[in-house]
Amino acid sequence: MDTVKSDAPNTVDELAMELATIKQSAKKIAIIGSRNLPITHQQMIETLATALVMQGNTIITSGGSSGTNAAAIRGAMKANPEKLCVILPQTIGQQPSDVQDQLIGVPNIIEHADRAMMTLADASRVCNREIIDECNQLICFLSHTSKTLHNAVQYAEEGHKVITVFYLD
């Protein structure tokens, strides 16, 4: 006979929450991932972001001149800029000029001057957690060696988010 330990997580409640998230017609979907992507992968991410926004979803991502975040921004901007939220690890002024150029016209940008003295790597880790906290669902594009993104996925799992992971290697 199977028994459930009293300290075991309530998996029925977790599954019910995940099912409710999946059934929601409009979700806040975080798209994060690697900067190092071939153009074909970037085009797929851009198309995915466009389609998700056209279905009524909001895309949450971070800044980036290339890779996953840049593709997500381009795709969401094509469909409906109001359905895009870009959370920066620091301030717009601390971003490279190509990132600043890409963010022109994005109506919903959250900056963090309070992280100005942090290294970009540390600020990015905090930023990924903030993005995950804001979403219902996470889509992550990463390689098996990406410790930062694996940690972000683990954080999303702990927060009982619906997660889709695409490994690029």
DSSP 52-97: HHHTTPEEEE---SSHHHHHHHHHHHHH-GGGEEEE-SS-GGGS-H
pLDDT at 64: 76
Contacts of 139 (CB under 8 A, 6+ apart): 29, 30, 31, 32, 48, 163, 164, 165, 166
- Phi and psi at residue 110, in whole multiples of 5°? -110, 120
Please tell me the predicted confidence (pLDDT) of residue 2.
Answer: 46
Amino acid letter, 6? S
Whole-prediction pTM: 0.86
β-bridge partners, 84: 59
Per-residue pLDDT tens for 42-58? 999 999 999 999 999 99
Tokens 């001149």 -> residue: 65
The DSSP letter of residue 9 is -
- Look at residue 142 in the predicted model and tell me its pLDDT: 94
Q: What was the pLDDT predicted at 98?
A: 87
Q: β-pairing, 137-142 with 162-167?
A: parallel
pLDDT at 55: 96
| Low-confidence spans in the chain with pLDDT less than 50 | 1-4
Beta-bridged to residue 59, according to DSSP, are 29, 84
d(CA 91, CA 76): 21
Q: How far apart are CA 158 and CA 61, in angstroms?
A: 19
Domains of the chain: 25-167 (3.40.50.450)
